[in-house]
């Protein structure tokens, strides 16, 4: 084996153009001979080398040298594992060769077609070439993953409907599930990749006692028969390569017409056995064959990719070994070497040794630019996102790295979503691969399809209709949507009051009979649907605002455009265009796209999605000429895989790439963040295709491993773990200069205890850190690791893997983010915190003033950063009013139901009163219904009639989902029965008579300023015994039982109000007690007229007594005095908060109250206008 070591070149950190990537390397040894003897060199060579060693660059240099020496480009076969790699290679060759010619004519002659192709593209070209030269043959068509998935699911659905006889009994119930269809499709792909026929698969299933394999073989026969009946030569990716190999074997003229002089195979470790067979069909007739392979980057075993082909060639052919690395900065290279050491594979260990030797000289040169590599463990996922955003923004702003030269790599697509959201929120543009778009997941496409469905007469669910109004087409927001529904409901209530006949007509127009209600009822959402579809309900919409009407008309016009196209007999594409054109979004999105930034990247995503939708429509109509818009919409809705959009690869967009690790092979960036290194996520050791035992099948065919043997499970586990390590190595070696690896670790408290429920960092992180402590998540470097320690000290360890505990950030620490919002927030915290020193507050105030008063070209100084100006801060300005809530012309009034809340936390009670003002919640309405039922029965209405009305009304008031509503109805039915039972007990206990819903307005005292204080409210049930004793009952329809009923403030308030009302000594100044004065006597007082109070809970039977003893005269006076003081508190304008209240995720008032209490703020001691010099 011959070794070639490239001469070291300067490290290029920031290429300003895409063409800057083709730096010419000076190859040595046999590699140099292959290039220098271009046009005459011959033989087969296996090219090996670790990440960044230059395998792809070497093959590109060979291709360029061959073309420059006169070799016909059409005789060069350059195969890559992916279309992205092929596009990059063709761009490189075009630019590199352009520099070697003097006129455009030569360039035109050289590049008459693409030289580099993906293996599937080449297989497609072979079949198309055969079809073009075979009379009557159908041209091949690539079946996209989404189409393949849809076909498999349709067939399985039919199997389920007709009995599923071919499937084992244990699997039949799963046939219609998405997971089963996906695993079956993947299993059949593995079968096709290995050239296995259905008959062979059936025999394997019978011989290995795998009945699911035999069933899959029967399904495979039916699948291929169905595909043939579709009338087109549609092939999936695996079938495409198989068909190409069979065509070459059966058609000698085809094989002879496709001779190649030079064959270059890049990243052959990603090729499955069938792709290797395709290459082998041409290699024997080629003058020069180069096969590049690297075992440490073999990460597609689940797709059948392996290094078997290259390893086999290496045993009989020459090997060119490229040592070291050309693209990795020393700190990145050292961390990559640590990962390579952990793989324990001979090739990886050799590469790690080579780069340590190569970088020793550069590490000793302190004047060179070395890059950076950090490893950080954060305390929470949000802190991790903040750390990633900070690194990305610093790279762009401080290091002047272009957005397109930055990438965030995660293990899976599910981890990418929070990273994307965090980056976009911080103003970072994020790139999308249009070929990986799942159309229905795109907001713009979903809105267009919903509008189309409305136009063709399909019914949208309430949720779908809401999403349409809130979509880019409608441009609404949740608040406006609710206002529209409330406005329609108010309009109906007005019509119902003024014109019941018209109200009945509106109900009939907009609704149908509801099974829960037993009759037609008005729904605002149905009225909105009627209007959007072209109906006129002027009497309902006249109360809407101009903005609300405009939103409705915007959506309505889009739907009407679709209706006109549909009923006019237009084609599928024309109907889609009518809806899109009526939306009027193309120009606005184009302008946003040109502006760039985060908003521009979102506009790009919307436009790409729309283009992909029209591409899909064109392809669908081409395949199904007589298709309708309804069938096309159903086709798109059922797809759950990328649709395989057109690959319109123009200039690379200025946006950060957020990708799963598998999608980054063959790519490189200046700055890379590898995020989400958590155990059970990376490594992901779950078995692939468990239903069909896919891994057993692959091992059985590839390595002859007998299925079902328990000892083989450990081997497969080790294989998966080794591949996950290789995938991690691929991720960290995508960085040229800067690398950050992040994870979330368990929080360690001050006493040393560890949160057992927290995320666990990956074992790979331990191996990566070695004997070094991890970097802090502060914006500044730690004292112990100056600026990531440059990782220069790591080389002194010689790559030792000594383990040490990893440093985890304290819970109070949060990574600084280099963004205006974060900077201003931190400066504000310092200025407003009482814990800050005067020196800190002064300097923070100066920096805020500099931001707020940033001078522009204009003579006057204007605030260009609004958030830094305290004039725009909430909570630090003077109060808008200091007026009390109490009207000085009237008395103070206290509601018994509010007393307890104001005693516990006045601030929370006030916020809750504001939140619920003028709004009846479901719980409030149901409570009112319960009280009305109790009152009706007390007044003599038949219990059966009350029950019927009660149970008919409950479903109308419930706001829960349909699947949950029946349980709620049963709950309230039981509650009513329990209420009747408890009322009967009270009927039997009363010796006199009872009043229900008794209004009480009782004067309880005066304030120090002489204002009267009244208790005003309703007593649910007031029992008066035949001896004049008053017993108070209050119904509680909630589920929570009061904790301390003997001291319950609401019952004490009721008792005090009753006692004061029947006390002849208490003379109201301007109001008369609602209790009859005939009951008053000289002897009446609390001591002898109160019998106590009770809370009744119809929903449950509390374990503890719910009775409060009667108050004495002294108790009444003391409580009345406390209520007088409370009246002043309730009047405001200042409300004190309490930090003792427990958190309640269902109470926004409580959450806000706790935030305000925790915020110890003082007004800033500066304003921008009083600082003369911000410098």
Give the span between the Cα atoms of 1150 and 1144, in whole angstroms. Answer: 7
Q: How many CB atoms lie under 10 A from the CB of residue 432?
A: 20
Report CA-CA distances (Å) from 394 to 12, 24, 390, 601, 798.
Answer: 19, 31, 6, 19, 31
> Whose CA is closest to 194, among 307, 275, 301, 125?
275
Distance CA 91, CA 21 (A): 11
Per-residue tokens: 57: 């660059």
Measure the CA–CA gap between 497 and 1057, rounded to whole angstroms. Answer: 38
43 annotated to a ligand binding site: no
Is 722 marked as a binding-site residue? no
The span from the CA of 138 to the CA of 243, in Å, is 13
55 marked among binding-site residues:
yes
Among the residues of 648-708, which ranges form H helices?
A: 694-703
**Please, are residues 528 and 488 in contact by the beta-carbon 8 Å criterion?**
yes
Who contacts 515 (Cβ-Cβ below 8 Å, separation ≥6)?
A: none
Beta strands in 897-992 (DSSP E): none
**Of 690, 723, 1042, nearest to 897 (Cα)?**
1042
Query: Contact at 8 Å (CB) between 347 and 728?
Result: no
Q: Is residue 52 marked as binding?
A: yes
State yes or no: 1137 annotated in a binding site: no
User: Which of 536, 391, 395, 533 has the alpha carbon at shortest distance from 465?
Assistant: 533
For 866, residues 6+ apart whose C-beta sits below 8 A from its C-beta are 872
Tell me the angle at which helices 572-583 and 443-455 cross, rounded to the nearest 10 degrees: 110
- Is residue 861 marked as binding? no
Strand partners, 1096: 1035
**In 3-state terms, what secondary structure has residue 279?**
helix
Q: Which helix (H) or strand (E) holds 1013?
A: strand 1012-1024
Exposed, middle or buried by CB within 10 Å (0-12, 13-18, 19+), for 135? exposed
Q: CB-based burial of residue 815 (10 Å sphere; 0-12 exposed, 13-18 middle, 19+ buried)?
A: buried
Tell whether 304 is in a known binding site.
Answer: no
Long-range CB contacts for residues 1145-1149, cutoff 8 Å, separation at least 24: 1147/908, 1147/912, 1148/915, 1149/908, 1149/911, 1149/912, 1149/914, 1149/915
Q: Give SS3 for 1141.
A: coil
CA 994 to chain centre: 59
CA 407 to CA 76: how far, in whole Å?
33
**Parallel, antiparallel or unpaired: strands 406-410 and 669-674:** parallel
- Which residue spans within 1036-1114 are E strands per DSSP? 1090-1096, 1107-1108
E strands of 274-334, at which residues? 288-293, 318-322
- For the record, the structure tokens of 323 come out as 């040592």
Q: How far apart are CA 1171 and CA 29, in angstroms?
A: 70
Taking alpha carbons only, the member of 614, 644, 611 closest to residue 237 is 644
Q: To 10 degrees, the CA torsion angle through 378, 380, 385, 391?
A: -20
54 known member of a binding site? yes
Annotated binding site: 49-56
Q: Which residues are annotated as a binding site for ATP?
A: 49-56
């Amino acid at each position: 084996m011959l070794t070639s070591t490239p001469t070291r070149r300067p490290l290029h950190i920031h290429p300003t153009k895409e063409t800057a990537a083709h730096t010419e390397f000076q190859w040595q040894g046999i590699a140099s001979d292959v290039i220098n003897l271009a046009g005459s060199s011959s033989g087969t060579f296996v090219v090996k080398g670790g990440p960044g060693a230059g395998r792809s660059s070497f093959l590109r240099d060979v291709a360029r040298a061959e073309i420059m020496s006169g070799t016909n480009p059409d005789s060069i076969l350059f195969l890559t594992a992916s279309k992205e790699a092929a596009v990059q290679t063709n761009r490189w060759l075009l630019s590199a060769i352009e520099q070697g010619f003097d006129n455009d004519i030569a360039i035109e002659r050289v590049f008459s077609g693409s030289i580099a192709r993906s293996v599937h593209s080449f297989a497609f070209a072979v079949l198309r070439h055969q079809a073009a030269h075979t009379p009557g043959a159908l041209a091949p068509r690539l079946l996209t993953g989404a189409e393949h998935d849809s076909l498999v699911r349709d067939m399985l659905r039919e199997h389920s409907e007709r009995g599923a006889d071919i499937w084992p009994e244990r699997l039949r119930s799963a046939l219609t599930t998405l997971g089963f269809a996906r695993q079956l499709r993947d299993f059949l792909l593995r079968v096709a990749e290995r050239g296995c026929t259905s008959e062979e698969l059936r025999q394997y299933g019978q011989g290995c006692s795998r009945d699911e394999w035999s069933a899959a073989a029967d399904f495979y026969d039916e699948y291929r028969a169905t595909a043939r009946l579709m009338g087109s030569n549609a092939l999936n990716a695996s079938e495409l390569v198989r068909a190409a190999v069979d065509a070459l074997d059966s058609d000698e003229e085809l094989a002879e017409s496709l001779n190649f002089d030079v064959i270059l195979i890049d990243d052959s470790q990603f090729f499955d056995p069938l792709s290797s067979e395709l290459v082998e069909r041409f290699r024997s007739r080629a003058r020069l064959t180069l096969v590049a392979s690297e075992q440490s980057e073999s990460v597609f075993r689940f797709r059948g990719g392996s290094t078997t082909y290259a390893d086999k060639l290496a045993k009989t052919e020459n090997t060119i070994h490229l040592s070291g690395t050309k693209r990795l900065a020393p700190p990145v290279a050292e961390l990559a070497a640590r990962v390579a050491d952990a793989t324990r594979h001979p090739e990886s260990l050799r590469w790690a040794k080579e780069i340590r030797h190569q970088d020793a000289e550069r590490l000793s040169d302190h004047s060179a630019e070395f890059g950076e590599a950090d490893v950080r463990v954060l305390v929470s996922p949000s802190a991790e996102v903040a750390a990633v955003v900070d690194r990305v923004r610093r790279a762009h702003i401080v290091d002047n790295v272009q957005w397109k030269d930055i990438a965030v790599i995660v293990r899976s697509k599910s981890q990418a979503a929070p990273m994307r959201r965090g980056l976009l929120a911080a103003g970072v543009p994020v790139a999308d691969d249009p070929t990986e778009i799942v159309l229905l997941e795109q907001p713009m496409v979903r809105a267009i399809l919903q509008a189309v469905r409305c136009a063709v007469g399909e019914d949208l669910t309430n949720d779908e209709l809401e999403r349409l109004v809130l979509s880019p087409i409608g441009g609404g927001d949740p608040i406006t949507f609710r206002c529209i529904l409330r406005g329609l409901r108010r309009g109906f209530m007005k019509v119902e009051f003024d014109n019941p006949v018209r109200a009945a007509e509106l109900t009939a127009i907009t609704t149908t009979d509801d099974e829960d209600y037993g009759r037609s009822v008005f729904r605002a959402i149905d009225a909105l649907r009627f209007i959007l579809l072209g109906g006129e309900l002027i009497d309902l919409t006249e109360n809407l605002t101009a903005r609300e009407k405009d939103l409705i008309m915007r959506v309505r016009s889009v739907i009407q455009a679709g209706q006109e196209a549909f009923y006019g007999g237009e084609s599928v594409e024309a109907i889609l265009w009518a809806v899109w054109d009526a939306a009027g979004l193309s120009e606005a999105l184009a302008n946003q796209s040109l502006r760039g930034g985060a908003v521009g990247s979102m506009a790009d995503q919307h436009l790409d999605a729309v283009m992909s939708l029209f591409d899909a429509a064109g392809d669908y109509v081409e395949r199904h000429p007589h298709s309708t818009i309804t069938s096309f919409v159903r086709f798109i809705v059922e797809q759950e895989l990328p649709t395989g959009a057109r690959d319109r690869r123009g200039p690379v967009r200025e946006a950060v790439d957020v990708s799963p690790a598998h999608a980054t092979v063959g790519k490189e960036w200046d700055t890379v963040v590898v995020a989400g290194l958590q155990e059970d996520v990376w490594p992901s050791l779950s078995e692939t295709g468990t239903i069909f035992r896919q891994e057993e099948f692959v091992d059985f065919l590839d390595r002859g491993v007998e299925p079902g043997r328990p000892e083989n499970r450990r081997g497969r586990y080790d294989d998966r773990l080794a591949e996950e390590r290789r995938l991690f190595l691929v991720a960290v070696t995508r960085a040229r200069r800067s690398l950050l690896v992040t994870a979330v670790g368990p929080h360690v408290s001050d006493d040393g205890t560890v949160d057992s429920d927290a995320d666990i960092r990956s074992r790979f992180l331990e191996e990566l850190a070695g004997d070094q402590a991890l970097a802090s998540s502060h914006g500044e470097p730690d004292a112990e690791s100056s600026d990531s320690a440059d990782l220069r000290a790591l080389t002194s360890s010689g790559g030792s893997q000594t383990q040490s505990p990893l440093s985890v950030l304290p819970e109070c620490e949060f990574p600084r983010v280099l963004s205006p919002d974060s900077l201003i927030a931190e400066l504000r915290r310092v200025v407003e915190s009482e814990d800050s020193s005067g020196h800190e507050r002064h300097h923070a105030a100066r920096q805020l003033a500099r931001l707020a008063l940033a001078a522009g070209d204009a003579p006057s100084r204007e605030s260009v950063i609004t958030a830094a100006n305290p004039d725009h801060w909430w909570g630090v300005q003077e109060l808008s009013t200091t007026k009390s809530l109490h009207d000085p012309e009237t008395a103070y009034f206290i509601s018994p139901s509010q007393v307890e809340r104001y005693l516990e936390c006045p601030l929370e009670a006030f916020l809750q009163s504001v939140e619920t003002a003028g709004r009846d919640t479901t719980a409030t309405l149901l409570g009112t219904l319960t009280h009305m039922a109790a009152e009706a029965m007390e007044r003599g209405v038949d219990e059966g009639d009350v029950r019927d009305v009660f149970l008919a009304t409950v479903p109308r008031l419930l706001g829960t989902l349909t699947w949950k509503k029946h349980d709620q109805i049963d709950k309230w039915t039981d509650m009513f029965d329990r209420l009747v039972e408890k009322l009967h007990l009270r009927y039997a206990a009363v010796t006199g008579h009872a009043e229900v819903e008794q209004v009480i307005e009782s004067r309880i005292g005066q304030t120090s300023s002489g204002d009267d204080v009244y208790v005003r409210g309703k007593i649910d049930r007031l029992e008066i015994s035949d001896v004049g004793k008053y017993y108070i009952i209050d119904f509680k329809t909630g589920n929570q039982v009061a904790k301390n009923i003997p001291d319950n403030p609401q019952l004490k308030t009721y008792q005090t109000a009753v006692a004061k009302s029947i006390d002849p000594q208490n003379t109201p100044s301007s109001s008369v007690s609602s209790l009859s004065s005939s009951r008053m006597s000289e002897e009446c007082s609390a001591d002898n007229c109160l019998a106590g109070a009770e809370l009744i809970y119809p929903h449950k039977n509390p374990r503890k007594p719910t009775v409060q003893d009667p108050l004495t005269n002294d108790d009444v006076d003391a409580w009345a005095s406390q209520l007088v003081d409370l009246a002043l508190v309730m009047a405001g304008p200042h409300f004190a908060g309490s930090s003792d209240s427990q958190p309640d995720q269902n109470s926004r008032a409580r959450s806000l109250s706790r935030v305000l209490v925790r915020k110890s703020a003082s007004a800033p001691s500066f304003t921008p206008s009083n600082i003369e010099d911000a410098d």
